[in-house]
Structure 1
Amino acid sequence: MSAPLGYIGIGLMGLPMTRRLLAAGRTVTVWNRTTEKTAPALADGAILGDGPAGVARAADIVCLCLTDTRAVEAAVFGPGGVAEGGAAGKILVDFSSIAPDDTVRFRQRLLDECGMEWVDAPVSGGVPGAEQGTLAIMAGGEASAVEAVRETVMLMAARFTHMGPSGAGQTAKLCNQVIVGCTMAVLAEATRLAEDAGVDAARLPEALAGGFADSIPLQLFVPRMVAGQHEPPLGHGHTMLKDLDNVRTLARETGTPLPMTSLAAETFRLLLARGGNDALEIYKLSARKRLD
């Protein structure tokens, strides 16, 4: 537990996760493409790294949480990337959500270039889970590497489940997004139906608590939908759509029919085209944020 840590990507998820590591007394070197975003972490005791390579040189375990495959590839293999500062015995833990086949390819490339292991560890639980340390994290990779980072990861999570070899964590996250993406669309429809029928939709979470329709998304998002609340942000619509598109790619490769997921993905695509990328625009399906 004394191993120095690194964290690349100090965003909505990365900042609270880094803060939990710092609160546990760990030494954390951080880097973000927009340096200003590291200020809160630095104020809490983090050290500013000299690019991703500098973070990798300073840390035995390098955590990564970035938007998409392109951002991950640039941070790890681009000029001044993690691969330049990595070495055998170090481990990269990627909390980003990217396609499983990209993870498998990146893991082998990093191992070949510098001997550093790669654990794919996408997360579920959103910003509240990151702040409270209650994230569910699904891991793929060599068992020895997963176990080597378990104590560190558990400072940020309630569960850390090894799902199988490289890419298995990302596949499990895609299954998670099938459920979450479809649920978000259905919750928005239920909220609008209640309001259109003259029922106070704000009372749905209370009324349905403990029943078969109850869920964390129901309790968390329906009040925000009713209020048309977008701040503080809990995520971005473009991130969900990226994940659902990755789900559909995997489904085509495996011959898996996903009619509900396909509809949810196209609903997100429509709403983002009309409303923009900066919020979970699925709220616009709710009664007070209708699309005419």
Structure 2
Amino acid sequence: MIAFLGLGNMGSPMARRLVAAGQKVTVWNRTRKELDGAAVAGSPAEAVSGAPIVISMLSNPAAVAEVVEAAKPGLSAGTIWVEMSTIGPDAVAEVRAQLPDDVRLVDAPVLGTVGPATEGKLRVIAGGDAADVDQVRDVLGVFGTVHHYGGPGSGAKMKLAVMAGQLSVQVLLAENLAYVRRLGLSADDYFDLLDATLLGTAGERLRPVVENGVPETRFKLALAAKDLTLATEGPGEVQTLTAAARDRFAQAAAAGHGEADVTGIVPALLELP
């Protein structure tokens, strides 16, 4: 049996894939949600009771810490807790300190949004003892391809490193588009020429936003601000460009774009005077 904690935009399709794969799944969400084929628990402790594998997919470090604490009375010796939220290595270490010594921990955030989560095409970025990762590899493989990057916290570190680059580039191009508009140039011509550069792929992702508007939310803009906040703490202080991108996302979230898709950073910056 697998306990799955957190049925948000990513958690729901991931839990559905476990059910579709034939796993016995018990789910819990802060606001009660039903999931076809899964049992629904009334509390984290009830959800994890008797589960050899626990998966958490939550919004931020505080939410994870709260749920871990609430789940502790129901945990069994030998359980493997797979923390799949994007919370950074410091929070992963805090989860390890919270959990009983006889409960093992794998950090395994994912790269991808709702579409890949639904299709089982995520990249699972795992950190932890090799034996623990191997024990849950088949379960994690239901979500996509599993990549093990080292000991505890390595998955969380790698996820932040990649997100720092990816999200910073989105802000760079959004600002660049605002510059193009102020110059009185054509956005179509800009994207056509950009395609010949190393930023061409990123431009292809943002071009439809300029032409057709922001798509349905796959990854909330507010979560991008959270990820970059984590990525600029401690060792991340060296990332000054990422810090600037963090501030742009935070500014956009404060202006009411937080629930929009992350690509909403484009209209948010184009709206600036």
Same fold (TM over 0.5): yes
CA shift for structure 1 position 51: 1.2
Match of 2:98 in 1: 109
> Which of 8, 14, 22 is the matching residue for 1:11?
8
Match of 1:260 in 2: 241
CA shift for structure 1 position 286: 4.0
Could you say what secondary structure the match of 1:161 adopts? strand
> Which of 198, 201, 213 is the matching residue for 2:186?
198
CA shift for structure 1 position 277: 2.0
Match of 1:120 in 2: 107
1:100 equivalent to 2:92? Answer no
Structure 2 contact 106–132 (Cα < 8 Å) conserved: yes
> Which of 260, 264, 271 is the matching residue for 1:279?
260
Distance 1:76 1:9 in 2: 12
Distance 1:131 1:25, change over 3 A: same
The CA RMSD measured in Å over matched residues stands at 2.5
Could you say what secondary structure the match of 1:149 adopts? helix
Distance 1:20 1:250, change over 3 A: same
CA shift for structure 1 position 155: 0.5
Question: What CA deviation, in whole Å up to 9, does each residue of 1:8-32 have, x standing for no partner?
Answer: 1001000111111111111111010
Ranges in structure 2 where 5+ consecutive residues have no aligned partner:
none
1:50 equivalent to 2:42? Answer yes
- AA matched with 1:172: M
Distance 2:261 2:141 in 1: 28
> Which of 207, 214, 235 is the matching residue for 1:251?
235
1:169 equivalent to 2:155? Answer yes
CA shift for structure 1 position 66: 0.4
- AA matched with 1:84: P
1:139 equivalent to 2:139? Answer no
Q: Which moved more, 1:190-199 or 1:10-19?
A: 190-199
Distance 1:257 1:284, change over 3 A: closer
Structure 1 contact 53–82 (Cα < 8 Å) conserved: yes
- AA matched with 1:200: D
Match of 1:240 in 2: 224
> Which of 140, 157, 175 is the matching residue for 1:189?
175
Distance 1:287 1:268, change over 3 A: closer
Could you say what secondary structure the match of 1:197 adopts? coil
Match of 1:69 in 2: 61
- AA matched with 2:105: W
Distance 1:287 1:127 in 2: 22
- AA matched with 1:150: R
Structure 1 contact 107–166 (Cα < 8 Å) conserved: no
Could you say what secondary structure the match of 1:137 adopts? strand
Distance 1:282 1:264 in 2: 13
Structure 1 contact 205–219 (Cα < 8 Å) conserved: no
- AA matched with 2:214: Q
Structure 1 contact 178–247 (Cα < 8 Å) conserved: yes
Distance 1:110 1:186, change over 3 A: same
Distance 1:287 1:245 in 2: 19
- AA matched with 2:148: H
| Aligned residues between the structures | 271
Distance 1:284 1:214, change over 3 A: closer
Could you say what secondary structure the match of 2:232 adopts? helix
Ranges in structure 1 where 5+ consecutive residues have no aligned partner:
none
- TM-score if structure 1 supplies the norm length? 0.84
Match of 1:31 in 2: 28
Distance 1:281 1:134, change over 3 A: closer
Could you say what secondary structure the match of 1:164 adopts? coil
- AA matched with 2:41: G
